[in-house]
Amino acid sequence: MAQNQLKKLLGVGFGVAVTIGGTIGTGILRKPGPIAHDIGNPTLIIAVWLIVGVYALAGSLSVMELGTMLPKAGGWYVFAHRAFGNYAGFIIGISSWLGSVSAMAFGAAVMSEYTALLFPEAIAYQKTIAIGILVLFVVFHSVGVRLASKAQEVMSVLKAVGLLAFVIVCFTITPKEPVLTTNAIRPLAEGGVWLGILAALQSVFYTYDGWHTAAYFTEEDVDPSRNLPRSMISGVLLIIGIYILVNLALLYVLPLPVLASSKLPAADAVQLLFGSGSAQVVTFLLMISIMGIINAQIMFNPRVIFAMGRDGLFFRFVNQVNAGGTPMNATMLTAGASILMILTNTYGKLSDIATFFFVLCYASAFAALIRLRQTEPDLPRPVRAWGYPFSTGALLVASLAFLIGAVIGDFSSSMYAIGFIVVSYPVYLLIKR
């Protein structure tokens, strides 16, 4: 096998697992409270989660065409590079990589915080624990893709089963503690319901981020034309179902004012049902959820710079693949960048900037599909986007609207992101040389 050749080892099971594992994180257990505060209406709360779910499902129908038409590792980078050339590909690739690097650092840091909650004596070693988590993942992935993919499947099943078990107990267990309602919290964002809905849409939008993860692995799929559509559609439908059920369960157990004032409503619901001390169960579920996301991120994100290196848009040393099929140098560099962010405490700010990058990548993919339909109509397309051009055009408009919303919602962070794009050209020339 050539040193820069990935192995074809993956199938539908992994595709579904990495979609779920790369999407469902702590957001579904933390965000329902702030969203209830922003909207203040149960029907609108469920509607917002459904609307963004439909966006993700429609987005997967467009990305399936791109992924099966260009079955290469790298996701958003591959599509932008093919449609718009080297510089656009470089910007999208680096944006995607840096965004996920900061998200992985943030995930490891949060996991170390939850470890300290379960084991208070570890509170002084949180940074060391976060770094140790990433190092252990690198060592684990050095064994090979087959083991890493099986681990992803197991963690995703545990995550889904844990959330469904939470839903079942919410609907079947009688609370052991009285519900203390309060009217002190007004469950409505300042400025009215429409501004509340806009804020909630943005929160839910980022909670769904990851629905596209299976598209990063088409080069390693034994039959991408057949497996990618099944993986993405099944994965996104399961995510939508889980998100809606969890929100219904929380609304069933917690009165709306209580939900609206809760920072971790899932823990509050469990404590209400089973008594004091039981909220640690939710902490454990959160840790499993974060592990699944980190495992997915340390699989898909190195493949971005691997693909860029192969095209001469990143350093060539990231191209080496070990005997197990892992792009090891790219994996170590990716984890190393996350560790550097943890050591310098920059991952929080960079995670805010990452929001802009993620939405930019969405918009670039839908624009790439439209562009490639025009410039390369004869490319083999085993799967075609449903409802094209209206569906893809609507998704592009929606993504641009979310991008504008991200700029308005966090102007200073977005300016940093735009500044990065402005200064990226000399960096591009240096790396390309």
Rg, Å, the chain Cα set: 21
Q: Cα–Cα distance between 52 and 431 in angstroms, integer?
A: 37
Q: Which helix (H) or strand (E) segment is 382 a member of?
A: none
What is the enclosing helix (H) or strand (E) of 395?
A: helix 390-409
Residue 1 has what pLDDT? 41
Instruction: Compute CA distances 216 → 80, 245, 249, 277, 298, whole Å.
Output: 13, 28, 33, 41, 12
Residue 10: strand pairing partners: 221
Res 58: pLDDT: 93
How is residue 138 written in tokens? 């690198």
3-class state of residue 125 by DSSP: helix
> What does each of the 433 residues of the chain score in pLDDT, given as a tens digit?
446 789 999 999 999 999 999 998 888 888 898 899 888 889 999 999 999 999 999 999 999 999 999 999 999 999 999 999 999 999 999 999 988 998 899 889 989 988 888 888 888 899 999 999 999 999 999 999 999 999 999 999 999 999 999 999 999 987 765 555 554 444 454 556 677 777 788 788 878 988 999 999 999 999 999 999 999 999 999 999 999 999 999 999 999 998 988 888 888 888 888 877 777 788 888 888 899 999 999 999 999 999 999 999 998 899 999 999 999 999 999 999 999 999 998 877 777 677 788 888 999 999 999 999 999 999 999 999 988 899 999 999 998 988 887 777 777 777 777 888 788 888 888 877 7
Helices (H), 2-144: 12-23, 27-30, 32-39, 42-69, 76-84, 86-118, 126-141
- Per CATH, the homologous superfamily of domain 12-432 is Amino acid/polyamine transporter I (1.20.1740.10)
Supply φ then ψ for residue 16, to 5 degrees.
-65, -45
Helices (H), 193-318: 193-207, 224-253, 256-260, 265-274, 280-310
